[in-house]
Chain A
Amino acid sequence: MELMRKWVQVITGFLINAYWAFPFTRTIYQGPLKVICAPGLNCYSCPASTSYCAIGALQQLMAGVRPALENGQYFLGFYVLGSIGVLGAFFGRLICGWACPFGFVQELIHKIPSPKFGLPRPLKYVKYFMLVFFVFLLPLLVVDQFGGGHPWFCKYVCPAGTAEAGIPMLLMQPSLRTTIGWLFYNKLIIMTVFLVWAVFVSRPFCRTTCPLGAFYSLFAKARLVKLRLDEARCTKCGACHRVCPMGVKFSEEPDDVECISCMACMNEACKENAIYLEVGGVAFGRPPQPRVPAKGEAP
C-alpha cells in the first residue's frame, strides 16, 4: 500500500505539473486546463503547472473583491471554495497524504538518516491562523489606494511557491535576478527552514502552516473516505501511534484533524485488524468482525 501511495504521489505530481515544454518556451503553461483546481498545494506560477492553486486563487479573488464589485462582478471565491470543498468532502486530508507534491517532497527529505523529533501540538493551530488571516482577511482588508489587496500567504510565506515558481523563474529568466530583494530572501529563508526542519520532523509544513491542509482538516469528521477504528478489536497497544507521520494517536482519536489517511497505521502497525477504510459508511477491504478474546482474557 505504501508503494502504491508513493506511485499515486508521483503520478499526481506529474499530472498537475505536466507542462514539460517550459525549458524551451521559457514561460508558464497558459492553456485551458488551468481552470482545474490542483488538489494539493502546488503553485500555479510553477512553469510546469497545468492547474490552479486553490490557495493562490482564493487570495487573488479576496484581494480583488472591491475592484470587482465596483465593476459589477461578483467574484467572491465561490468557484474555488466549491472546488476544494468537493475535494474536502470526498477525501479530506487524504489529499495531503496522497496528492500533495510539497507533502511528498517533505516525506522524501524526512528519509535522510538523522535523529527524529515530534512536534509540540499547539503548533498545529498556526495553520488555521494562516487560513483565516493570510488567505482571507488580510488580502481582503489591507488594501492600497486603488482598493486592491495582496496575496499575503503567497507573498510572505509559501515555501512551495518559492521552490516551484520563484527559483525556476529566476533560473529561466536571468533578467529577473536584478529585481530580487528582501521579499525573496525572506521567502528563501522560510523555504530553507521548512526543508531542513523536514529532515528531523515529519511533514512540518503540513502540520504547522499549510492553509490548504487546515481547510481540508475541517472535514475530518464528515468526509466520505476515512479510516475507522473498530473499538472491539483495538487492544490500545499504541502501535498505530508509533508509525503515524502526523503524530496522530489513532486509537485514541480516530477523527483527529491531522490524519492524512496514509494508512501506515492500518497496513504496517495494527496486528488486530482494528483499523479499516470506510467510504461513505461502507467498510472496504476487510469489514470488521467481532474480535474473539484470547484464552483467559475477559471478553
Chain B
Amino acid sequence: MATKRPKKKSRHQLRKPPFLFLLLFVMLGMAGIIADEPLRVLEQARQVCLSCIGIG
C-alpha cells in the first residue's frame, strides 16, 4: 500500500493577517467612495482652514 509522502515544508510561508487587513481596508475605502466621500475630502483639502492652522 502506498503511503502518503509528507508535504515538503516551505521556508517561506505567506502570512495571512496583512492580506486580510488589506482586504478589509480596501472594502472600507470602497464604502467611502460609494458614499462620495472623496469629493468631500477634496472640497476640504482645497480650502485653507485658518483656524485649523492656528490663525484666526
Alpha-carbon separation in the docked complex, A28 to B51 (Å): 16
The count of residues in chain A whose C-beta lies closer than 8 Å to any C-beta of chain B is 60
Tell whether, in the assembled complex, residue B54 and residue A166 are in contact, meaning their CB atoms are under 8 Å apart: yes
Which B residues are CB-close (under 8 A) to A222? 15, 17-18, 20-21
Smallest Cβ-Cβ distance to B12: which chain A residue: A282
Tell whether, in the assembled complex, residue B55 and residue A281 are in contact, meaning their CB atoms are under 8 Å apart: no
Size bracket, chain B contacts = 35 or more
Q: Which of B19, B32, B42, B53 has the most CB of A within 10 A?
A: B53
Smallest Cβ-Cβ distance to B46: which chain A residue: A30
Which A residues are CB-close (under 8 A) to B24? 85
Given contacts A61-B40, A73-B40, A79-B41, are A89 and B25 in contact (CB under 8 A)? yes
Alpha-carbon separation in the docked complex, A214 to B22 (Å): 18
Which B residues are CB-close (under 8 A) to A82? 25-32
Tell whether, in the assembled complex, residue A161 and residue B40 are in contact, meaning their CB atoms are under 8 Å apart: no
Q: Is B35 an interface residue (CB 8 A)?
A: yes
A134 to chain B, nearest CB (A): 12
Alpha-carbon separation in the docked complex, A57 to B51 (Å): 14
Tell whether, in the assembled complex, residue A184 and residue B46 are in contact, meaning their CB atoms are under 8 Å apart: no
Q: Which of A88, A223, A280 has the most CB of B within 10 A?
A: A280
Q: Is B50 an interface residue (CB 8 A)?
A: yes
Alpha-carbon separation in the docked complex, A60 to B44 (Å): 8
Tell whether, in the assembled complex, residue A28 and residue B48 are in contact, meaning their CB atoms are under 8 Å apart: yes
Name B29's contact: one of A75, A86, A219, A283 (CB within 8 Å): A86
Tell whether, in the assembled complex, residue B14 and residue A281 are in contact, meaning their CB atoms are under 8 Å apart: yes
Chain B interface (Cβ < 8 Å from any Cβ of A) = 11-15, 17-22, 24-33, 35-38, 40-42, 44-46, 48-56
Chain A interface (Cβ < 8 Å from any Cβ of B) = 27-28, 30, 32, 34-35, 43-45, 52, 56-57, 60-61, 64, 68, 73-83, 85-86, 88-90, 150-151, 154-155, 161-162, 165-166, 169-170, 176, 179-180, 183-184, 186-188, 219, 221-224, 280-283, 287
When A and B form their complex, which 10 residue pairs have the shortest distance between CB atoms, in order from nearest?
A: A82-B29, A79-B32, A85-B25, A78-B32, A222-B17, A89-B21, A79-B37, A187-B54, A82-B28, A34-B45
